[in-house]
Amino acid sequence: MARSSSSAWVDYDNDGWLDLFVANAVVEDNDLYHNNGDGTFTAITSGAVVSDGGHSVGVAFADYNNDGYMDLAISNDFASANFLYLNNGGSNNWVQFSLGGVVSNYAALGAKLRLYAGGIAQLREITGQTGHGAQNELRAHFGIGSATSIDSLVIEWPSCLKMYLSDVAINQVHEIKEALIASDPEDTTVCPTQDFSLSVETYDTGYNYQWKKDGVNLVNGGNISGANSATLTVTNVQPSDAGDYTCLITGSCAGLTEESDTAFVSVESCLGRLHIGNRKCS
């Protein structure tokens, strides 16, 4: 390696280990080093990427054809043509995340993603100016080798919010918004004198909950419990309990609050429903 101008880390073969690309100026061939996963690297010596020369200055990786394999753009100086390489891909699995900040900056710069899959823990940070005169795409890309599932993903946002996700589908791009709520309460139909519960699921714990009915804060007592927890329970339901229910979540990070989608609760006579619709009350 002589007159190197720029470099970038990327898992180009999606085996779960970051590989290293180095751009060299003065018409010297560029370098690509494959990570062997044991602390050593092997120089790749054949192929256009390492034999096209070029007065190379900037390096940027992005998956421009969305096949899960990172492609490479190189800017060359002194009026020589730039290089764009399409990754031929392979059989390894992958997953990508496009983050959108709400309280944090919109591009999520500074966010960290910790992914666990196939016995390997990987870290990516969303950063700007990833190389000299160049910028990788802002998506976080992970190769996961032959793993067929993601054990877990933790996203640490600049705001201090943490999101814990499991059940993340592989071989696709996920768009994830900075959020407190993972799943909203569902519409419910209940018979008089029966009970019902509504639940809101959050990406992390330690938040404050306030359930509301028709926009008014609920308080525990009477037939209502859990007004300040993840699950609201209403027992011995009366027609007056029908209405629009939401839950306001207050985060531990400054300024971060979120209100759930509305769950519509209907109170209908089971007898009437049996007669009219010939349906069983669930």
> What whole-number distance in Å separates Cα of residue 67 and Cα of residue 213?
46
Radius of gyration of the chain (CA): 26
CA–CA separation, 127 vs 10, rounded Å? 14
Task: Count other C-beta atoms under 10 Å from residue 268's C-beta.
Answer: 16
User: Which CB sits closer to Ca ion, 118 or 185?
Assistant: 118
Please tell me what DSSP assigns to residue 240: G
Cα gap 168→174, rounded to integer Å: 9
- To Ca ion, the closest distance from the beta carbon of 197 in angstroms equals 46
Residue whose CB is less far from Ca ion, 57 or 161? 57
Note the Cα 166 to chain centre separation in Å.
10
Looking at the Cβ atoms of 85 and 116, the one nearer to Ca ion is: 85
Output the smallest distance, CB 155 to Ca ion, in A: 22
Q: Which is nearer to Ca ion, 67 or 137 (CB)?
A: 67
Q: Which residue is nearest to Ca ion (CB)?
A: 56
- Three-state secondary-structure class, residue 258: strand
CA-CA distance, 187 to 246, in Å (whole number)? 11
Q: Closest CB to Ca ion among 15 and 241?
A: 15
* 128 class by beta-carbon count within 10 Å (0-12 exposed, 13-18 middle, 19+ buried): exposed
Minimum Å gap between C-beta 53 and Ca ion is 5
| C-alpha dihedral sign at 280, 212, 241, 227 | positive
CB of 52 vs Ca ion, minimal distance in Å = 7
Q: Given the complex with Ca ion, which of 11 and 178 has the nearer CB atom?
A: 11
Among 11, 150, 174, CA closest to 90: 11
Cα–Cα nearest to 250, from 212, 208, 206: 208
Which residues contact Ca ion by CB under 5 A? 11, 13, 15, 17, 19, 24, 30, 54, 56, 63, 65, 67, 69, 71, 87
- To Ca ion, the closest distance from the beta carbon of 151 in angstroms equals 19
Nearer to Ca ion, 84 or 274 (CB): 84
Amino acid at 268: E
How near is the Cβ of 112 to Ca ion at its closest, in Å?
A: 20
